A = this chain, B = another copy of it.
Amino acid sequence: MPDRNRKFLLAQRPEGKPDDDTFELVEGDVPEPGPGEVLVRTVYLSVDPYMRGRMRDAESYAEPWDVDEPLKGAVVGEVVESNGGGFEAGDVVTGDLEWADYATAPGSELTAVDPDLAPISTATSVLGMTGRTAFFGTREVAQPTAGDTFVVSGAAGAVGSVAGQIAKMAGARVVGFTGSDEKVEFLEDELGFDAAINYKEADDYVAALAEAAPDGVDAYFDNVGGPITDAVFQHLNLDARVAVCGQISQYNAEEMPTGPRKLGQLIGKRATVEGFLVWDFHARFEQANQQLAEWVQSGDLQYRETVIEGLANAPDAFVGLFEGENVGKQLVKVGEEPDAA
């Protein structure tokens, strides 16, 4: 085991899009696990859009990161040293850990990953936070039923791609907004979406949606906000449900728009817009994961991961989220998988 460890700090808070000045890679000793702690070797690091909010010094649901402190994110890794806490060397675990080669954590803050269930990377994707977000946001908030039209923005992303497939299984017509022709093809041909719209090519989202969702929109899963959401609101049906999961189009705005501007469409349509966080469904995470794993194993639920190699490239992976570089879940492969190690 090497005795040196690299980790990323938040060098400064970004104005607008994060860049090289945002991140600093520092080297130091591999940390020692304290009592009840384990030392984890990072295999996969998850980068997620919500992390942009943690770079901002503003109250939000996720605590802001401090400048000069390590960035943290969902990690899948191998326990290499245990000082109690319920895990042994060789165990595969997942938890919220530093963007680092190695990190320590109390065993109580880690969850065991079963390598026989599915590839271990899925513990951060379809069987992880983004899969569960799609699961609860679709089934509990947007609530598509048979015959409904369900629209999802950020449709080829880690959450959107799973949400659309869950809506499809519920019997809905599923329409996605996404950012390239390749992703349109992926959604329509591989995931079974009924239609997908490349928002970077469409001139008029309202018209494009009129064609893709001719019966209007009964349920909308919003990951993006901005003009796409404006257009969807024009098509809401009576008693439509909008699940607000993310607003990625707004996260890098230097001057944050301050609010909703116009909600008039909701009145006549008696529509409901509801923000949610996956953590609120914490008590049912296991149930969700069992269902998701069953669907993955049966082939009913496809998932895709985009993997960038090397911890040093984690900032590029993160910034790429806002450029739509990823299909499905964006991961950084920091170390070898345990089997191959």
- A interface list, Cβ under 8 A from B: 60-61, 206, 222, 225-227, 229-234, 242, 244-247, 250, 256-277, 280
Contacts and interface: CB of A to CB of B under 8 A. Distances in A.
Contacts of A258: 206, 227, 230-231, 233-234, 262
A263 B229 contact: yes
A259 B229 contact: yes
A160 to B, nearest CB: 15
B275 A267 contact: yes
Given A269-B275, A271-B274, A272-B274, A247 B260 contact: no
B247 A230 contact: no
Contacts of A256: 262, 264
Contact of A225 (B222, B234, B244, B263): B263
A226 B267 contact: no
A231 B259 contact: yes
Considering residues A226, A260, A267, which has the most beta carbons from chain B within 10 angstroms of its beta carbon? A260
A102 B263 CA distance: 37
A51 B30 CA distance: 70
Nearest to A205: B258
A230 B244 contact: no
A266 B244 contact: yes
Contact of A265 (B259, B269, B272): B259
Given A259-B265, A263-B275, A270-B275, 13 more contacts: A61-B268, A227-B258, A231-B259, A232-B259, A244-B264, A244-B267, A247-B264, A260-B262, A263-B273, A265-B275, A267-B277, A268-B275, A271-B274
B263 A244 contact: yes
A110 to B, nearest CB: 25
A267 B250 contact: no
Considering residues A60, A61, A263, A265, which has the most beta carbons from chain B within 10 angstroms of its beta carbon? A263
13 contacts: A225-B261, A225-B262, A226-B261, A244-B263, A244-B267, A245-B267, A247-B267, A250-B264, A260-B260, A260-B263, A266-B275, A270-B280, A271-B275
A277 B266 contact: no
B233 A259 contact: yes
Nearest to A260: B260
B270 A276 contact: yes
B270 A222 contact: no
Nearest to A258: B230
A144 to B, nearest CB: 18
Contacts of A242: 263
A257 B229 CA distance: 12
A277 to B, nearest CB: 6
Contact of A260 (B245, B261, B277, B280): B261
A227 B260 CA distance: 9
A149 to B, nearest CB: 17
